[in-house]
């Protein structure tokens, strides 16, 4: 029993210390696909993601729900990413996953040079 209490106290202390340095946040993303600029559609034609996120240094993790417009009942969404600057270069990468009947994934990378 003593080991269980010590383990739980250690886990709680680790969580509290990470949470004090990490930046929790809420993010809303909205995506709209279209062919012509004169017919953008309505909010119901968009896909929206509502996620809770956590920044830890150069890394971030977001977990939430997605759906059409502001109706977030289509499935789960997860995004994990990193951003690292070296001199005038910034390299960013993220893995975004969506689950309705099965998981689908998208990997995105970006390299930026600042003048």
Query: DSSP code of 57?
Result: T
Q: Is the pLDDT of residue 67 over 60?
A: yes
pLDDT tier, 107 (very low <50, low <70, confident <90, very high otherwise): very high
pTM of the prediction? 0.67
For residues 37-58, average pLDDT: 80
Do 40 and 32 form a contact (C-beta atoms < 8 A)? yes
Residue 16 lies in a domain: no
Q: What share of the chain is helix, strand, coil (3-state, %, to 5)?
A: 20, 55, 25
Assigned domain for 3 exists: no
* pLDDT exceeds cutoff 60 at 52: yes
Residue ranges making up the domain that contains 75? 23-113
Query: Cβ distance 46 to 68 under 8 Å?
Result: yes
Q: Residue 28: pLDDT above 80?
A: yes
Tokens of 40: 């953008």
- The pLDDT of 1-10, averaged and rounded, is 56
- The C-alpha atoms of residue 21 and residue 14 are separated, in whole angstroms, by 11
The DSSP output letter for 64 is E
Instruction: Decide if 14 is inside a domain.
Output: no
Q: Say if 9 falls within a structural domain.
A: no
Whether 61 maps to a domain, the answer reads yes
Q: Which helix (H) or strand (E) holds 51?
A: strand 47-56
| Tokens coding 89 | 């270069």
Does a structural domain hold residue 2?
A: no
Identify the band that residue 38 occupies on the pLDDT scale cut at 50, 70 and 90.
low
Q: Is residue 13 part of a domain?
A: no
Q: How many domains does the chain have?
A: 1
Any domain includes 48:
yes
């Amino acid at each position: 029993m003593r080991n269980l209490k010590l383990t739980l106290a250690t886990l709680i202390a680790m969580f509290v210390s990470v949470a004090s340095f990490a930046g929790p946040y809420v993010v809303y993303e909205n995506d709209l696909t279209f062919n012509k600029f004169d017919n953008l559609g309505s909010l119901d034609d968009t896909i929206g993601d509502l996620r809770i996120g956590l920044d830890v240094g150069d890394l971030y993790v977001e977990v939430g729900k997605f759906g059409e417009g502001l109706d977030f009942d289509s499935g789960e969404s997860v995004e994990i990413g990193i951003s690292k600057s070296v001199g005038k270069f910034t390299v960013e990468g993220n893995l975004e996953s969506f689950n309705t009947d099965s998981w689908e994934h998208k990997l995105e990378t970006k390299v930026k040079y600042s003048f």
